[in-house]
Amino acid sequence: MILLLNGYPGVGKLTIARHLADRTGAVLLDIHTLYNPAYALATPKSEAYFDIIRDVWSVVDPRILALPPGRMVIFTDVLAGWLPLDPWIEENLVRLRHLGAARGGLAVVNLSCDRAENRRRMAAPERAGAGKPRDPAYADAKHDAGKPLLSCGADRMLALDVTALSAEKAAGHIADWLQAPG
């Protein structure tokens, strides 16, 4: 299965994903793992930037498809918007649906937390080492924009508010949801 932890910056996607991967033995591919080469080598949002990300996908995706059956792959990302969707988001969705169809399904967990907690998490020092944005105003801008997180055409969908949950508890909740029927 392909599992997407989808949420705005600072919500805790990577921390939750790490706990979940440890618990389930899943492969974890964080958005920064896939996008950092593009950030380092090209102007963000330029055609060269998108080409680098596509190049990374062209190496990674066949290896995902070659994983043993039953091995879950966890992605983290921020896929949000209104219709009509940005072409880059559409391209991401097509890719995720393709991988999901080939790997036994696509499950999406849309993670959210309240503004005050999001601001606190954005400023956390551990975000600096991963090349992540740390300005709480960035979190405010995402909240103010109000773009809805997308369901991505998932086979299974969960909306989870992690404001009052530790990353470990959130991972446990997601693991339980994944094992539940339907």
pLDDT tens, position by position, 154-166: 999 999 999 999 9
In terms of residue numbers, what domain contains 107? 2-34+64-179
Whether 125 and 17 have beta carbons less than 8 Å apart is answered as: no
Tens-digit pLDDT profile for residues 43-91: 999 999 999 999 999 999 999 999 999 999 999 999 998 888 899 999 9
The structural domain count of the chain equals: 1
Match 């062209």 to its residue by tokens: 58
Please indicate, yes or no, if residue 71 is contained in any of the structural domains: yes
Tell me the HSE value of 83 on the side-chain side, using a 13 A CA sphere. Answer: 2
Q: What tokens were used for 8? A: 């705005």
Q: Structure tokens of 88?
A: 């880059």
Distance CA 44, CA 38 (A): 7
| Mean pLDDT, rounded, of the chain | 93
* Structural domain contains residue 164: yes
Give domain status of residue 39, yes or no.
Answer: no
| Domain CATH for 99 | 3.40.50.300
Residue 51 within a domain: no
Query: Does residue 40 belong to any structural domain of this protein?
Result: no
- pLDDT band at 182; cut points 50, 70, 90: low
pTM score: 0.94
* Region 127-154 average pLDDT: 85
Contact assessment for residue 155 and residue 105, using Cβ atoms and an 8 Å cutoff:
yes
Q: Is residue 44 part of a domain?
A: no
Residues 36 and 135: beta-carbon distance below 8 Å: no
